[in-house]
Amino acid sequence: MSLKERVLADLAAAGCAPLHRYGQHFLIDRCALDSLCAALPLVPGAQVVEIGPGTGLLTERLLQHDAHIVAVEIDRGLAAFLARRWAGRKLTVVHGDALRGAEGLHPAITAVAAAGPWLFASNLPYDIAIPAILEAAALPRPPSALAATVQLACAERLCSRPGDAAWGASAAILQAAGSPRLLRRVGRAAFHPQPRVDSALIAWEPRQPLPPGFAAWVRRVFAYRRKVLIGALRDAGHHPEVARQACAAAGIAAEHRLEQLDSSELLALHRALHRAP
């Protein structure tokens, strides 16, 4: 039986169908699933969070690695199906929305993160991919490693560098906290139903905690990304003289445009601004 046939059979058994409002595109490519697992240090007993497990093809592979999984599924029918199928295994299925807007990630995810080292593995719905990854990276204890399938444009955006058209606040925040990598492209035929765009497998590993307020500050100043630093910082609410002193303290020319700064320079500028009187 192909993985597509299995997904169709499982959906029928669950009394479900792919729902557009949940962004459900089930990953049915064995190589992509294997690559996703291979990108993580899946030692026995690893604590793993999976967002949007769907019919459980990735979940099954994680269980084969003897991982403890907390799977957050927004589809009530699929959540019940997974709980029945893997009853008695090291799987906790949580019915709910993994991303709660301004409230951040679902409490079941933050509880795993607070308890000890954990991993993030997911075939992420496109519409929550960037906020879910950024929220995970900004936690006091971010995942030890993250691997997820996302829209190709999202992967290119998060892995972009200053000077790239895709470079922006999301990439700067994620790269300030750790190192993202685009591992491979994933074609449309790897999913059921097929999306209208290509996807990619992205990995990320943490490097350092984000300073308090850094993510919100980056989003604010990137609203003026094409301006020179003094102008961008002024329009973001900083006094021009304080901005000039901070640029000097960070070793960054005040005539640079904001969009030319990489994550390490943004971190240095943020620190300098918050040390200023």
Average pLDDT per run of 10 along the chain, which is 277 residues long?
A: 96 95 95 97 97 97 97 98 95 96 91 98 95 97 98 98 96 98 98 97 97 96 94 94 94 93 97 82
Q: What is the pTM of this model?
A: 0.95
Domain with CATH 3.40.50.150 in the chain: 3-206
Whether the bond between 193 and the residue before it is cis, its omega within 30 degrees of 0, is yes
Q: Hey, what are 119's tokens?
A: 């991993």
Q: What pLDDT does residue 103 have?
A: 82
| DSSP secondary structure letter of residue 260 | G
Helices (H), 125-177: 129-137, 152-158, 169-177
Q: What pLDDT does residue 277 have?
A: 60
Residue closest to 139 by CA, chosen among 210, 70, 72: 210
Q: What pLDDT does residue 276 have?
A: 61
What would the CATH number be for the domain defined by 217-275?
1.10.8.100
**Helical packing angle, 169-177 and 129-137, nearest 10°:** 30
Q: What pLDDT does residue 102 have?
A: 73
Q: What pLDDT does residue 275 have?
A: 84
CATH superfamily label, 3-206? Vaccinia Virus protein VP39 (3.40.50.150)
Q: What pLDDT does residue 101 have?
A: 77
